[in-house]
Amino acid sequence: MPMDHSARTKEMIGNVDRALAGYLERGGHEKLIRAMRHYPEAGGKRMRPTMAILVAEAVGGRGKEALPFGCALELIHNFTLVHDDVIDKDPVRRGRPAVHIAFDEPTAIIAGDALFAIAFDVLATVEVDGERLRRLLRSVSNTVFLVAEGQQMDVDNEDRPTVAREEYLDMVEKKTAVLFACAAEGGAIIGGGTEEQVRAMREYARLLGIGFQIWDDVLGLKGDAKRVGKPVGSDIRNGKRTLIVVDALERLEGDGRKHILTDALGNADATDEQVQAAVRLLEDIGSIERARQFALDYARRAKELLSCLRSSEEREMLREMVDYAVGREL
């Protein structure tokens, strides 16, 4: 019978939340402090820090030694969300007004910058030898650059009439998957894993991250707004070239129904009826289901890489994390 790991997961998330609250106890400008805390205090899945902790333990190390590293990545993740919402003009995040709505755009940009700065301060507290710390610093700094590159690709793609599947996957890997990969790789380094385990854990998380984003794209069209934490269909209005849209534009070439999608795609003034009609079309031609299957294939490949770890509760929890990332409720 499968073990119930919910209590342990809850405990880890609680430890992350408490650590984040402590790291954000700084500064003297009340408005900036409230803006910085706006997303971290709203909760979240905390997948990146829990992944780092679990991987550190799975390779034979101590999870608490990976906690500061995981929290640094969570702060970076939140910094990217703040800026992403400004770029996309999304009004809601995690069920509450986005930072730029609750405050203003300049404050949101500054708050994101502050979270980024704190993340590196936290990263410097990881208790490992100098060589491993330098390796972590290089990994994180390179990851942040790739995330920025992926974000720019995402923005550029909105104005392009066509985007190839390979281009979408490259963008998703950089914008989303590399931060997961950094978390798992860092956890393996901190935990003293072998080089084979470090490489395998990075690839495990990269595949999970791509699958996670594709599944997120599906949720963005078919999920419940309260569960998703943002308006369903906003990707259509924002003109996002998700795998679903890339597939549909390819299949609808020469099809008289194509205008149903293009009338709403990238149209900030599209009515709810137009967006819903576009979603129905994406469903009717199978683009949503193909994306779902694509995500599940990434999940399967990610799980296979866990074979490099000894059998343990942590390995099983990493397997369950894949099931959550690609399979959470629509």
Rounded to the nearest integer, the mean pLDDT of the chain is: 94
For residue 66, give the nearest of 18, 12, 22 by alpha carbon. 12
Angle at 85 between CA 80 and CA 87, to 5 degrees: 95
Helix H, strand E, coil C: the string for 77-98 is HHHHHHHHHHHHCCCEECCEEC
In a domain, 1, yes or no: no
Q: Which pLDDT value is given to residue 166?
A: 96
Q: Tell me what pLDDT residue 225 has.
A: 63
Which pLDDT belongs to residue 112? Answer: 97
Within-domain flag for 225 = yes
Q: Is the pLDDT of residue 230 over 80?
A: no
pLDDT at 2 over 70: no
**Considering the domain boundaries, does residue 201 fall inside one?**
yes
Measured CA to CA in angstroms, residue 321 lies from 38, 209, 265, 324 at distances of: 26, 11, 32, 5
Three-state DSSP state, 61: coil
Distance CA(162)–CA(201), nearest Å, equals 34
The pLDDT, as a whole number, for residue 226 is: 63
> Is 50 exceeded by the pLDDT of residue 260?
yes
Task: Express each pLDDT in 74-107 by its tens digit.
Answer: 999 999 999 999 998 889 998 899 999 999 999 9
Per-residue model confidence (pLDDT) at position 223 = 74
Residue 1 in this model has a pLDDT that exceeds 50: no
pLDDT tens digit string along 308-317?
A: 999 999 999 9
pLDDT higher than 80, residue 224: no
Going along the chain, which residue ranges are E strands? 92-93, 96-97
Q: Is residue 12 predicted with pLDDT exceeding 90?
A: yes
Question: Residues 107-157: pLDDT tens digits?
Answer: 999 999 999 999 999 999 999 999 999 999 999 999 999 999 999 999 999
Kindly tell me if the per-residue pLDDT of 229 is higher than 80: no
Query: What is the pLDDT, as a whole number, of residue 330?
Result: 57
Prediction pTM value: 0.92
**Total structural domains in the chain?**
1
What confidence score (pLDDT) does residue 28 get? 85
Residue that the structure tokens 């209005």 belong to: 237
Largest CA distance in the chain: 63
Task: List pLDDT tens digits, range 16-61.
Answer: 999 999 999 988 899 999 999 999 999 889 999 999 999 999 999 9
CATH code assigned at 67: 1.10.600.10
Q: Is the dihedral of CA 161, 91, 109, 216 positive or negative?
A: negative
Q: State the Cα–Cα distance between residues 72 and 133, nearest whole angstrom.
A: 13
User: Do 270 and 236 form a contact (C-beta atoms < 8 A)?
Assistant: yes
**At a CB cut-off of 8 Å and minimum separation 6, what does 280 contact?**
none
Domain containing 289: what range? Answer: 6-325
Query: What pLDDT is stored for residue 84 in this prediction?
Result: 93
Cα 153 from Cα 168, distance rounded (Å): 9
Residue 279: its pLDDT value, please? 96
Would you say residue 100 lies in a domain? yes
In the block, tokens 């069209």 appear at 221
| Per-residue model confidence (pLDDT) at position 88 | 86
Residue with tokens 């073990």: 3
Nearest to 78 by CA among 35, 107, 121: 35
**DSSP state string for 132-154:** HHHHHHHHHHHHHHHHHHHHHHH
Tokens of 320: 């369950």
Taking alpha carbons only, the member of 213, 183, 177 closest to residue 198 is 183
